[in-house]
């Protein structure tokens, strides 16, 4: 455990200036156990339904209506004497987690997306998105309408982002692996809401992650300020007039927080601070009123800084000449393979077949009216439906996670305490209660997990190998 004596003098002096008489209370809080949170996936169920399924007396996160505090039972999964129905209560080893019903997220990290004012139909950009907490939260507010562009510069981190997007069942999404400078050349004044959870020194995470502290000793706050301002500058180009930009960090450093914002505001007269009410234990910044910090000695969460900015002008879509040119390139798609059409007809929804796009035998369902530019590196464009093979269509895991129980004509729905659920998640063959031939959707208590290929009662497992229960 990190001790106060381990902190650099410059850090302790800065915190004393920031906190005054509360400094000792802050230091004491660092020796307390960090809080764990889960956030309901509103695309799939309500918070009350989640509490009912997990059978927990959750305490709510005050500033996020769909967020809860969670206390993990230690040693549950490694104790043979514990009964199966008790084992599955572990939050990260629960079938409902694999069904994408909730996201495990530090409570303070739920704040930026919650204050962005995202509503169905918005075009939203999460610019520094991995591993995906804020993006999945933004998508849940969109409710399948509008567009989410979620980006991360790191090729390795974007893999975790992709998984979390697909587990959550999100389809109105573009996942990019790009430098913000490249995105801003394409998405000119395109987005209604932008979230910039910027790379930072991580002072607010010292209690939670000793690796962050070690990295901090090697770099410190000054390393990040140029990066933060650069990202903000590119975000400004992509926000519509009248749009909202949320800037957040998990650090207390006034150099990175107020300093980066002041630098940005001095060079962008069309942006002003949109005040966040200092409630729930949030502390308003004295240097930049209207912005807030979250301290672990004042609330149940880790350290965070959050600011909400408004861009002047009226809310209207502005599409550049280049954007118009790219949109006009779109043509009506070629006739779709019969195998794909027959499979899609099994799913009870109104497909817009003009949005089905095939690339190298892989079929995608593109977000409605989304701007997709060939100059950018897209990891995912909409919903990956599956692969077209000789005389058949092979549906993929992302599609299964997007399908609702009542959209499939004959789902194999199992209760969470059925041992076949864990067998399925481990990739094993399972037996159905009834006979059927063909692809079938497996669900846990009415929520999709993945596909099987059933022959009579035997179900060959199609659950994605990279996601399997370990």
Catalytic residue among 200, 250, 443, 459: 250
Q: Is 434 assigned to a binding site? A: no
Q: Is 160 assigned to a binding site? A: no
Q: Is 21 assigned to a binding site? A: no
Quote helix, strand, coil % in the chain, to nearest 5: 30, 25, 40
417: Cα separation from own chain's centroid: 28
For 21-135, strand residue ranges (E) read 36-40, 59-60, 67-70, 102-104, 123-126
- Decide if 389 contacts 362 (C-beta within 8 A): no
Q: Is 126 assigned to a binding site? A: no
Q: Is 179 assigned to a binding site? A: yes
Cα angle: 72, vertex 43, 113; to 5 degrees: 75
Is 459 one of the annotated active-site residues of the chain? no
**Tokens standing for residue 268:** 């962008």
Indicate the length of the chain as a whole number: 470
Site of tokens 């002096």: 13
Q: Is 131 assigned to a binding site? A: yes
Buried b (16+ CB within 10 A) or exposed e, 61-83: bebbebbbebeeeeeeeeeeeee
Q: Is 130 assigned to a binding site? A: yes
CA proximity to 252, closest of 16, 4, 6, 2 = 16
Distance CA 137, CA 104 (A): 11
Dihedral, 415, 408, 350, 41 alpha carbons, nearest 10: 20
Q: Is 443 assigned to a binding site? A: no
337: three-class secondary structure by DSSP: coil
Which positions are catalytic? 250
Enumerate the known binding-site residues.
128-134, 152, 179, 197
Enumerate the known binding-site residues for S-adenosyl-L-methionine.
128-134, 152, 179, 197
């Amino acid at each position: 455990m990190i001790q106060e004596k381990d902190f650099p003098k410059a850090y302790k002096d800065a915190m004393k200036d920031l906190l005054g008489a509360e400094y000792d209370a802050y230091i004491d809080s660092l020796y307390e156990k960090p809080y764990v949170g889960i956030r309901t996936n509103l695309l799939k169920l309500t918070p009350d339904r989640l509490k009912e399924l997990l059978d927990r007396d959750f305490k709510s996160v005050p500033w996020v209506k769909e967020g809860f505090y969670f206390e993990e039972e230690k040693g549950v999964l490694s104790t043979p004497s514990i009964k199966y129905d008790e084992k599955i209560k572990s939050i990260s080893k629960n079938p409902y987690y694999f069904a994408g019903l909730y996201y495990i997220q530090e409570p303070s990290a739920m704040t930026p997306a919650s204050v962005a004012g995202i509503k169905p139909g918005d075009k939203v950009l999460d610019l520094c998105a991995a591993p995906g907490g804020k993006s999945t939260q933004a998508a849940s507010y969109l409710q399948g309408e509008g567009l989410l562009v979620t980006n991360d510069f790191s090729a390795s981190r974007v893999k975790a982002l992709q998984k979390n997007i697909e587990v959550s069942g999100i389809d109105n999404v573009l996942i990019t692996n790009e430098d913000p400078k490249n995105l801003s050349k394409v998405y000119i004044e395109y987005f209604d809401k932008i979230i910039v959870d910027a790379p930072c020194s991580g002072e607010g995470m010292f209690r939670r992650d000793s690796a962050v502290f070690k990295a901090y000793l090697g770099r410190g706050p000054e390393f990040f300020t140029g990066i933060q301002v650069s990202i903000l500058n590119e975000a400004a180009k992509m926000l519509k007039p009248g749009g909202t930009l949320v800037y957040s960090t998990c650090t207390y450093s006034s150099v990175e927080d107020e300093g980066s914002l002041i630098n940005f505001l001095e060079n962008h007269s069309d942006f002003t601070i949109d005040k966040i009410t200092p409630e729930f234990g949030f502390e308003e910044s004295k240097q930049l009123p209207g912005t807030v910090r979250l301290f672990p000695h004042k609330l149940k969460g880790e350290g965070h800084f959050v600011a909400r900015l408004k861009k002047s002008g009226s809310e209207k879509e502005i599409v550049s000449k280049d954007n118009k040119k790219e949109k006009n390139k779109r043509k009506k798609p070629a006739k779709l393979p019969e195998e794909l059409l027959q499979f899609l007809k099994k799913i009870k929804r109104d497909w817009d077949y003009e949005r089905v796009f095939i690339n190298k035998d892989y079929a995608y369902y593109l977000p409605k009216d989304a701007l997709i530019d060939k100059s950018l590196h897209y990891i995912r464009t909409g919903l990956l439906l599956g692969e077209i093979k000789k005389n058949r269509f092979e549906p993929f895991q992302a599609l299964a996670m997007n399908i609702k129980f009542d959209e499939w004509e004959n789902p194999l729905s199992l209760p969470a305490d059925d041992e076949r659920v864990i067998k399925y998640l481990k990739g094993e063959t399972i037996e159905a209660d009834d006979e059927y031939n063909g692809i079938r959707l497996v669900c846990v208590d009415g929520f999709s997990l993945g596909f099987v290929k059933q022959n009579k009662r035997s179900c060959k497992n199609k659950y994605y190998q990279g996601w399997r229960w370990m």
